[in-house]
Structure 1
């Protein structure tokens, strides 16, 4: 594609916002695409794709540019130009890697860039573009499988919908998008892959709550909780509530759902989404230790989708790997344990709980459950656990364990 200065400038501005101002990539792209109504679909796609590609391959591109630090706008132009040079080889496209004769690209030498690219491809942490500590943690946890998993985490994620069965069905949604443009996911009952990417949030069917965007791995968690109509369910780490909405659909709007979080803004967003989805059995509440204590023994089912490193969803949030710090892992494991060991008291005798993470690391997942059973095995038993893998089944890296209170 021919490079247009205005579009490249927009891409550079977006990258500056992400790496210099430390803003979230998805929000930067969303606001950037809204900033110029004259841009067509191809223009918007160019900006979004190049920003996400460069964010995903940030360490690799810095290496081929021989830049330790990227600070000034001129540096970001060099980064952009270098990515255009290595992109055909790295993404296996037939695009031309010749750059326009702009002053911003004068210092770039194609042969030098390509030679450094070949050097980079011999070093996994640079070739796969991750910080040293993530590469070390992944290898320590997964061994030889880390190579395959890391490569898979660097592939763009597909667009997957979860059909809201309160309002619609797989068949109706496939008819809306076209049967040729949709693919049913065999082991995810209401999951649907859209083959052609599009901004579904603008569609009336989305605004009317007929479906939500949710990865297939994430869609396995709510059913794992063994939901039946009429139960009392607590989603104690609800966030913006994707899994809460799924729970409501599984309950068929019967029983009750109490969705809790420490952030009120997320719960406000959840209320809006619930209204759109036609959910009528939902209550929200800010969570505190006092609230947890007051709810002891009240829930038939409890979902603990705990805060985690997010290392299982890097393909959807590639900027997070540059913001995570190694000390965060230790602190978040402590938070996870505190949530698991205290929130579990909200479950009735005979009730069930799911502990879930979106991390590929056992230290945040299997090891926490093992520790829990070792300490509280007198009162709890592990029924089953399941892990999804980008490399093995194409789903984001989720872990889920189903436990029952004796």
Structure 2
């Protein structure tokens, strides 16, 4: 099957509501043996690239025709325009291949229509950026919903355009070494053998790499290494869980943060890992088994109901459900399925979970609140509200590796922000219960 036809098929499945990362992983698991490493890389870049730039690409199509209703046709135009504009590929070759594939699928009349649309776009595309800038349409140029664009401008001011550009950057592959099964020295020797280069290292065993070809390796399958972003790793590591403690991970699935906690605890003590879905609880259990973790107790429970556990905990991690705007490099669809009302609803949910968790923390215990998003409603505002309403808690200082970019807020919480090239956008703050 032609590579571009494969991408069109994937984009059509994405439009049906499937998560982009799960969709692509499943596709490669089923069809990866049919593809070269270069073909996988091309599919990955174009598939994610189209999703990241969907608003811009659809604007360009609709500007030139109001007749593109067939999903196959629209996606062929999207990926062709993406190749030309964002990958600087040969325009004549792009137009020829799109026309031929459309001829085969929909007939020569539609093929000619595609050729005309693309040729028109190619002639005018160098003028598009200036036109959109002059017409206050950077939301279209960077492919963000208008409300999101205005929110970023309001919150970040002169830095807004750098924020918008940053979260369209192509992400790097990141993995963490499972120290219960493997050592960093062994992993680095493995990378040397594979000729894979380290782009960034985070103390504790997280590596950003120049290749994503690790999924099919025995090291990956046996749980010696696990895919994880450095930001979520640092949220778990900041808790400072110790051997023998009783720890609660309120919103655990898929379990990667619980596994970090287990490593910090030397596999001694108890970690109660919660999720509201049975299938995700099973996922946590499978992850623990694969990674050799024996102290995780995965349970189905709404984190707002943690009082039902009838237990007090030494440490609690509240990595709360959020809008996900800090991870849109990896999950770009988050931009298209939420709005400001969703942000406010999620902020309320996060606060309810944080408040419920705080009541089952021992006096003298510590709690980390974190989110993978970039707006103050879900981050600093929630933390400030919690401290104001719970005077028996204080924010305590946290330390992060020196090579992590971002800034502290006035409470002592840390925003891994748009200046960080590799890690997800994240907010981390730590509280201590004094009475």
TM-score normalised by structure 2 residue count = 0.85
State yes or no: 1:107 paired with 2:116: yes
Question: 5 Å matches for 1:7-406?
Answer: 7-19=3-15, 21-36=16-31, 37-66=33-62, 71-89=70-88, 95-98=89-92, 99-100=95-96, 101-102=99-100, 103=103, 104=111, 105-116=114-125, 118-120=127-129, 122=133, 123-178=137-192, 181-183=196-198, 185=200, 187-198=202-213, 200-288=214-302, 292-295=306-309, 298-377=312-391, 379-384=392-397, 385-392=413-420, 394-406=422-434
Report how far residue 260 of structure 1 moved: 0.6
Per the alignment, in what secondary structure is the counterpart of residue 353 of structure 1? strand
Q: Give per-residue Cα distances to partners, 1:227-276, cap 9 Å, x unaligned.
A: 22221110011011110011001111011101011112111011111111
Call closer, same or farther: CA 1:167–1:106 in 2, change over 3 Å: same
Per the alignment, in what secondary structure is the counterpart of residue 368 of structure 2? strand
Structure 2 residue ranges without an equivalent (≥5): 104-110, 398-412
Structure 1 residue ranges without an equivalent (≥5): 90-94
Report how far residue 185 of structure 1 moved: 4.2
Call closer, same or farther: CA 1:321–1:77 in 2, change over 3 Å: same
Do the aligned residues in 1 keep the contact of 2:303 with 2:353 (CA within 8 Å)?
no
* Count of matched residue pairs: 394
Call closer, same or farther: CA 1:395–1:288 in 2, change over 3 Å: closer
Report how far residue 210 of structure 1 moved: 0.9
Call closer, same or farther: CA 1:52–1:369 in 2, change over 3 Å: same
Call closer, same or farther: CA 1:197–1:140 in 2, change over 3 Å: same
Call closer, same or farther: CA 1:285–1:42 in 2, change over 3 Å: same
Equivalent residue, structure 1, for 2:404: none
User: How far apart, CA to CA, are the structure 1 residues paired with 2:30 and 2:182?
Assistant: 34
Do the aligned residues in 1 keep the contact of 2:201 with 2:207 (CA within 8 Å)?
no
Equivalent residue, structure 2, for 1:92: none
